Amino acid sequence: MIQKFQVSSDKFILNIDSTIDYLSKQDIGVVISQGLAETYKSKPKNPVDFFGKWLLHRNEVEQAKKKIDNNSSHIQELLSHYDRKLKIDAREEKELQDGETVKSNKQSQFMKKVEDCDDHEDILQDLADHIQEYTNSTSVYVAKLVQQKNKIEEDDDNTAHIIDQAPLHLDLYHASPKGFEFLLRKSIKSNEGVVHDVFKVEEPAPEQEQENPPTTNEGEGEGDEHEVEPPKPQSLTVDEVVREPRIKFFKVPRLGSLLCVRLNYESCLFEQALDEAILDVYEVEDKSRQQEIEKNMWEEQENKRREEAEKTEQEYEEEPKEWEHIKNKKFNSETVEYAVCLDTLGQDRKFQQSEIDLSIETIANFAKMWEKQEQKNLKKDIDRRVEKSQEDKDFVEKAKVKFDEI
C-alpha cells in the first residue's frame, strides 16, 4: 500500500508541476491574476459567477481588438497595394506616352521623307516597313494591279506585249519585315483571294461629285489650282482569316486578321502626256498673245470713244468686256493602282481601330504626295523641253543671220 501511495504521489507532483507551468504562461496566468484581482476588488456575492463573466468579457474584448488589428492590417495592405498599383500605372502611362511620342516622331519623319521624295516608287518598301513597325503586323506587302502581258521576242514591235482585254492580277513587289521575301514576285489572280475586292469602288452620286470636285492641276500658278482633299482610299478588313474561304494563303494557314487598303494615284509621267502638255504650252502662248493684241485694240477703241465723248461733251460709258481666262489643260494621266495588305497571322488578334486609321491615312497621304510630285516632275520636263526648243530656235536664227551676212 505504501508503494502504491508513493507512485500516486509522484504522479500528483508531476501534474502539479505541469499545471503550474501552464498557468504561468503570459496569456493565461496574467489574465487569471487580473480576473482574480477584479473579483477581489468587487467582492461580489457570487464570485465564481463574476469571475466567469469577467473572463468571457475579457475574451470578447480581446477578439474585438484582434479584429480591429486585422482590419487595420488589411487596410494598410490594401493601401500599399493601391499605392503600388498607382506607381505601376503611372510608369506604364509614361511608357505609353513615350512610345506614342516615338511613334509620332517616326510618323512625322516618314511623311517628311515622302514629301521630299522625287520618285515615290523608290520608297514603296519604306512604306511597307513603316506600316509594319507602327501596327506591329506580322507582315505587310505591296502589290501592283497589272494586266497580263505577252512574252517579248527579239523581232517583236513595241506593242507585242499587249494582250487585248487581258485579265488583271496583282504582282507582289514589296514585303516587310525581313524573312517574308518569299512573297515577292508572287501573283494573285482576279479570281483568287479577297484582295481584288478593294478595287471594287462604287461610283459616287452626281450630287456628291458636285459637292466634292476632284483635284485638278489646271493652270500654271499655284493660285490657279483648286485643291480638294481626296476621299479616303477604299479598304477592307477580314477579322478572322481562317473563317474566310476565299483567303489565299502562301504558307500554312494561321489565326489572325487581314487589312487591305487601295493605293491609287493619277500618273502623268509618260511620253504622250509630255508631248500633249508641251503642245498645250505653245497653244496657251499663242492664245495669250492673240488675246493681248485684242486687248490693245479694244483699249485703243475705248480711248477714241472717250476722246470723242469729251469733245462733244457727252457722257462716256465704258462697254463691259469679259476676257477668257486662258490656262493650261489638265495633264493627261493614267490611273496606277496598288494594294497595301497587312496581316496578323500567328498573333490571333484583330487590328485596332487606331492601327486601321493610321494605315489608311498614311497610304492616302502617300498617294496624294506621289501624284503631286509627278505633276511637279512633269512641269520640270516641260520647262526643260521648252527651254531647249527655244535654245535651238535661237541657234538657228543666229546661224541664219551669219549665213545672210556671208
What is the 3 state secondary structure string of 222-282? HHHCCCCCCCCCCEEEECCHHHCCCCCCCCCCCCCCEEEEEEEEEECCCHHHHHHHHHHHH
| pLDDT tens per residue, range 295-305 | 888 888 888 88
- The answer on pLDDT for 218 being more than 60 is no
Contact in structure between 235 and 198 (CB atoms under 8 Å): yes
- The answer on pLDDT for 291 being more than 50 is yes
What's the pLDDT at 400? 65
| pLDDT tens per residue, range 53-67 | 888 888 888 888 888
Contact in structure between 281 and 382 (CB atoms under 8 Å): yes
Give me the percent of the chain exceeding a pLDDT of 70.
Answer: 78
Cell readout for 54 is: 469577467
- The answer on pLDDT for 3 being more than 50 is no
Higher pLDDT, 171 or 314: 171
Decide: helix, strand or coil at residue 117: coil
What's the pLDDT at 204? 53
Q: What is the mean pLDDT of residues 241-256?
A: 91
- The answer on pLDDT for 164 being more than 80 is no
- d(C-alpha 391, C-alpha 394), whole Å: 5
- The answer on pLDDT for 207 being more than 70 is no
What's the pLDDT at 58? 84
What's the pLDDT at 17? 60
- The answer on pLDDT for 2 being more than 50 is no
CB burial class (10 A; 0-12, 13-18, 19+) of residue 249? exposed
Confidence of residue 401 (pLDDT cuts 50, 70, 90): low
Cell readout for 285 is: 502662248
What's the pLDDT at 404? 61
What's the pLDDT at 223? 41
Q: What is the mean pLDDT of residues 392-400?
A: 67
Higher pLDDT, 321 or 142: 142
- The answer on pLDDT for 18 being more than 70 is no
Cell readout for 258 is: 487581314
Catalogue the E-assigned strands of 278-323: none
| pLDDT tens per residue, range 93-147 | 777 777 677 778 888 899 999 999 999 999 999 999 999 998 999 999 999 998 8
Contact in structure between 103 and 362 (CB atoms under 8 Å): no
Is residue 44 reached through a cis peptide bond, with omega within 30 degrees of 0 on the bond before it?
no
What's the pLDDT at 23? 60
Decide: helix, strand or coil at residue 362: helix
- d(C-alpha 34, C-alpha 14), whole Å: 27
Q: What is the mean pLDDT of residues 386-392?
A: 80
* 133-137, 242-246, 396-400: the lowest-pLDDT one: 396-400
What's the pLDDT at 38? 84
- d(C-alpha 7, C-alpha 4), whole Å: 5
What's the pLDDT at 153? 64
What's the pLDDT at 363? 95
List, in order, residues 6 or more apart from 323 with CB less than 8 Å away. 291, 295
Mean confidence (pLDDT) of the chain: 81
- Residue that is written with C-alpha cell 507585242 in the block: 160
Contact in structure between 107 and 114 (CB atoms under 8 Å): no
